[in-house]
Amino acid sequence: MGLFTTCLIETFRPAIGYAAIMLLEDAGCRVEIPEGQQCCGQPSLDDSDDPDHLDQASRIIEAFESFDFVVAPSASCAASLKDYAALFASNPAWEARARAFSQKVHELTSFLVDIMNVGPIAVRLDANVTFFDSCAGGAEPRFQPQPRVLLSAIAGLSLKEMAQTAGCCGFGSNRCAKTSPAMTEDIRAAGSSILVSGDLSCLMGLARKLKRDGSAIEVRHIAELLAGMHDTPPIGGTTRSTHRPLERQP
């Protein structure tokens, strides 16, 4: 399968990409990262820059169409990739290629649960964790159980739900400074020491807001927790975790 690493992960948090590779290989996949991949095009789509988005989409389709599956450790990027068919509605040749490509696209946790049937997670973490679905992940109720299934399989982890688990964090487009105060209040009220999501973009915005509010809540991508990779500072942090290192079980 081909791993779509996302531009944010490559630029700001490569550890998430390594964690995704570890999880996919543990599940029995042969992982390749094709050259030529770039931004999924969501910013240009948000700004209605259709010609630029079509160019980005065609390059990504060409880079990935030989793979059986395309997996992205980001719900928002996966949603953008799955929308490619609609972009080429007026071009029958490319529309067929885009539709075939879109049908192979999966978000990381849904791929692990729904396609690879991943069972127990060989990790232990004694901590309270809350999960944020994001507007991309929360828009599809059928995609909400998978990350919770995987988190619940981590020994010692207690999942504490927020009052409102989905919504726009305010990161995207011109809304980047408008994270809802109610959202961060919900995060703190859940009583968890770690905030987790499947979208780095959301986590970066929420980490900034929580840090500005003086919160000690750690912010991490779900792939890092599932892979037992807890040896780097949390997102938006400069010091190592206050929790014991994640233990990979034999």
pTM for the model: 0.88
Nearest to 63 by CA among 15, 116, 115, 2: 2
* 131: phi then psi, degrees, rounded to nearest 5: -115, 135
Rounded to the nearest angstrom, the gap between the alpha carbon of residue 76 and the centroid of all alpha carbons in its chain is: 7
DSSP conformation class of 141? G
Q: What is the pLDDT along the chain (250 residues), one digit of tens a residue?
A: 999 999 999 999 999 999 999 999 999 999 999 987 888 877 666 555 566 778 888 999 999 999 999 999 998 899 889 988 888 888 888 999 999 999 999 999 999 999 999 988 889 999 999 999 876 555 555 557 899 999 999 999 999 998 876 666 665 544 454 556 678 888 999 999 999 999 998 899 899 889 888 999 999 999 999 999 877 789 988 766 555 555 554 4
Q: Are the beta carbons of 2 and 33 closer than 8 angstroms?
A: yes
Residue 98: Cβ-neighbour burial (10 angstroms; 0-12, 13-18, 19+): buried
Radius of gyration in angstroms for the set of CA atoms belonging to the chain, rounded to a whole number: 18
The 10 Å Cβ neighbour count of residue 78 is 28
